[in-house]
Structure formats: C-alpha cells, structure tokens
Amino acid sequence: MKKFSLSLRLALVFSLMTSIPLIGANAATDAKILTLKSVGQSRLLQGPILGGSTSAFFERLLDNPAKIEALKQMDLGLDRFPGGSDANFYNWRTGLIKIQEYPDSSPYVRFWAKAAANIARGNPDGIKMEQYMAFSRQIGAQVIFVPNLESSSIAEQVEWLKHLAGNGLVPQRIELGNEFWVAMGNDPESLARWSDAPSSMRTMKQYLDALKPYLPANAKTAVQAAASGFSVHRNPRARFWQRIEKWDDDLRPEPWFDAVTLHLYPRLSDVLGEPQAGLTPPTRENALPRLKAMMAQVDDGVERILRGIERRLPGKEIWITEWNSRGANAATQRGADVEPLSPSMEMLLAARMVLVHLRHASVTASLFFMYDFRPKNPFSMFIADGMGGYAPVPTAAALKWLNKAANGGGSFQRVVQDGAKPIGGEGVVPQSYFAVEGGLFQSKDRTTLILENVSTDVFLLDPTTLIPNKRPSTIEFMSMPDLVRTDKLSARIEHQNFTGRITITPFSVTRVVWE
C-alpha cells in the first residue's frame, strides 16, 4: 500500500472533525492522475522581478544580523526606499519623515504624522540611502528609488540626486512618487498639488527633467496608475471612486516614462459585497466561500487589471510595487485587528497572485508588502525560532520558492491541469480560477516547478511528462488543509522521496527541482 505523508493523513483527520469537506475516507484510492498542460507563451525572466517592502522605519532591521540573514534567505530581487506614502514626506538630509499637519488634514495624513513622530522617537538618527543601499546589498536586493515629489522642492531633490550620484548610489529604477491618485486620502493640501492625472503627470515630468542628469544611463522611470477597476463593489457616485477612475482614463503612453506602477490589495469585504467580512475571522461555514471568492479575485481580477493596463499603455512595463492578499483593508487594519483569512488561505492566495503576475511579460517588478518581523503586526512574515534566528511563515516560505525560481533569469511557462474547468468564485462579480495552477521555471542550471492545489483532491503527477529522462533532485511541499486555523506558526515544509510519481496534497504548494 502506498504510504502518504503526514500532511495527507492530517488532512483526513481534519475532514472528519469539521464541516469542511477536505479529502474523503478513500483518499488513498481516490488519488487522481494529474496531467499538466502549458497555457500561453513562455516569457523571459530578465533581471530580478520579485521582491518586497521591508519594515526598516518601523523596527530595528538594518543593524540586526538575524533579521538580515532571514531576509537574505528569501532571495528577494527588489526592495524599495524610502517606501510608499512615507516617501512623499521623506527628508533626505535627516533620514526622517516630516509631515506638516493642519486643522483640516485628512485622517490619513494625521495617521502618517503620528507615525512619523513615532519613527523619530524610535530612531532619531533616521535612515539614509547610504545605509539602506548597504542593507539591500547584504540581502541581495536592488532598490527601487522613490524620490519625494510631494513635500520637497525640485531643487532639493536635485541636491539629493547630486549627492547620491557622487557616491555611485542612484538606483536604476525610479518610481516618481507614491499614490498621488489617493492624494493622501482626500487631504486638501495633497489634492491641491495632485488634482488630476494630466497636471500630476506634468509635475512628475518637471521633477524628472531636473533629475535626469544624475540618473544612470540605463535608468527607467515609472508613473502611477490607480487600478480603479480592481475594486468590484464600489459606489460609482462616490467622489473618490470618480477621481481614481478618471485618473486611469486620463493616462496616456507618453514617451518620457518607461513604466507604470500598480498597488493591488484585494479586500474580502469588497469581493463578497459584505462590509463586515473583512472584520471577522474564518469559520467552518465561511472559510471555503471566502477562499474561493478571494482566489477568483487574485486570479481573474488581477488578470483583468493587467490586461487593461496593457491595452491602455502599450509598450510600458508594469511595476506592481505594492501588493498583499491578506484580504483586510490595508489602509485601516494595521494593528491587532482580527484577520479575515487563515495562514493557509494567505499562503495559497499569495502564491497564486505571483503566478498571475508572472504570466505577463509586461510585469517586470512585483513587490510583496511587506516583510515584517514584529510578532503582533498583521504583516509579520517571520517567527522567532528560539535559537536567535527567524523562520518564515507559510506565505513567506511560498514566496521564497517563487523568488528563487524567478529571480535567477531564464523563462517562465504557465501550467494548469489538463481538462480542468475553471471554478467560480461566487463573489459579487463572476470571476474564476483553476484549482491546480503552477509555473515551470527554466534557467541555466535548473528547472523548477511551483504548483499549487487549491482543492480537496489528491493528485499523482508523473514528472517525466514535464522533464523526460531526468529524476527530480528535490520534492518539497506545504500542505495546509485546515482553512480555519488562525494561529501564526512557522512554515512546515515536508519532503518526498521520488518513487516514480509525486503526490500533490490538498490545499498545498509544491516545489519540484531538477538539477
């Protein structure tokens, strides 16, 4: 009799204890033969593509060897400095964030003013580009640079670039500010500066023209798209939605910029049309419906946005400089709020979102938000291992596999289950996804298959159907059939010995390597 892994046996036990049907009592005999087929054309993987934001301003990171080592092990190809909204108020001379608060300032500006004060108290010396570039080199990442176009003059930013250029520290990728389409949450001061896309583009170009003499010869610059269509359950009469829809409508593929940025944060309350869904934990009754709705959004929903940008801005690269699939409201749920998705769901959704990004040759940067070590922070991606180091949570472990496969160059080919039908997400708009989806990554020295199974089925895969006459050197997987369990633990990675076929367990991400 074939011996199945501990995760598979645990899945059977879990299915008997809960109302979520995971795998049946005859799992060992019901395993299905899995045949994978290629979909679409393969794409080249040129330069690092996958990376993430770090929490350098919010915790001691740059001088912590254990945290640096944990990030180095993530194989991040890209990171970002000074960051997102904080970059719009970063003072390069002090290394700190300075925000002028007014009586009529928006709640979002007030939030950042408070955050800036806390950052200054915790790290009064600030963080300079010189320090961050050294840190990035230690973890193996290239910096995407975000100059301050909101609260700093052109002349002051030119002085910063002169200083950086004199020390050989100007990065190749330049992101011209952060989320001007938000205008810092309908803040009067920000709205006056970034009233609409055309005038904002003119301002960005004025800064760029002044900075160009100090940029590397191969520098690329990006402007901003709002991804207004990503939210599927919105009030079309609300002024904010009208503003960002018009922002996107007004974008044109002008020759002076190379790329456009997107920030993608799928929210459970949005995709289900239930305002409270993002504020309550997963249960035996709602876990599977939540996973299906979110999976359809990070697959079909992201696909729809990327295709729309490609049509609107042909020939431009797409830099997804922020994304996270935890399902909560990234702007408001930053503390000890209840998480609406379990670690199992977050792992599966994050892996799928990266696979969707990689389908598109136009996507040349994808940065997860964010790699945090603070145990009570919802963005925490690491667990203290009790030996002075840090271990990744399942989401981080899955992203590590993808980073390692994608950032070394070569090619990517999308694969799905042959003969499978898309699964409807059952959210407020009709969207779907394939239960079994993966990517085949080929580079000079190895071939890697990253495959996820978002179903209750057990599959058997013959790897010679992908790479004939060669045995896999590594087979490892994370299977998390308990969709309800919410405690945050380090990733439990299991290994299989190759015996002719690879077992693909329910609700899992599997990594197969041929070297």
Q: Check pLDDT > 90 for residue 330.
A: no
Please name the helix (run of DSSP H) or strand (run of DSSP E) that holds residue 427, with its range, or none.
Answer: none
Cα–Cα nearest to 271, from 130, 430, 131, 416? 430
State the pTM of this model: 0.94
The answer for 469, left when phi > 0, alpha when psi is -120 to 50, beta otherwise, is left
pLDDT for res 92: 98
φ, ψ dihedrals at 468, nearest 5°: -65, 145
Average pLDDT over residues 144-151: 98
The DSSP string of 390-418 is EEE-HHHHHHHHHHHHHTT-SEEEEEEET
Q: Check pLDDT > 60 for residue 9.
A: no
Share of the chain above pLDDT 70, in %: 93
Average pLDDT over residues 390-419: 97
pLDDT for res 29: 55
Confidence at 336, pLDDT banded by 50, 70, 90: low
Confidence at 354, pLDDT banded by 50, 70, 90: very high
Average pLDDT over residues 297-325: 98
Confidence at 26, pLDDT banded by 50, 70, 90: very low
Q: Which two tokens stand for residue 442?
A: 């080929």
Average pLDDT value over all residues in the chain? 93
Percent helix, strand and coil across the chain, each to the nearest 5: 35, 20, 45
450 touches 405 (CB < 8 A): yes
pLDDT for res 235: 80
Confidence at 58, pLDDT banded by 50, 70, 90: very high
Q: Check pLDDT > 80 for residue 337.
A: no
pLDDT digits (tens, 9 = 90+) for 60-74: 999 999 999 999 999
Q: Check pLDDT > 90 for residue 21.
A: no
Tell which CATH architecture fits domain 6-42+412-514.
Sandwich (2.60)
Q: Which segments of the chain belong to CATH 3.20.20.80?
A: 50-408
| CATH class name, domain 50-408 | alpha beta
Q: Which segments of the chain belong to CATH 2.60.40?
A: 6-42+412-514
Average pLDDT over residues 407-435: 96
pLDDT for res 15: 43
pLDDT for res 236: 78
Q: Check pLDDT > 60 for residue 219.
A: yes
pLDDT digits (tens, 9 = 90+) for 74-87: 999 999 999 999 99
Reduced 3-state DSSP string for 163-225: HHHHCCCCCCEEECCCCCCCHHHHCHHHHHHCCCHHHHHHHHHHHHHHHHHHCCCCCEEEEEC
Tokens 């197969």 belong to 512
Tokens 């961050």 belong to 132
Tokens 């599977």 belong to 288
pLDDT for res 506: 98
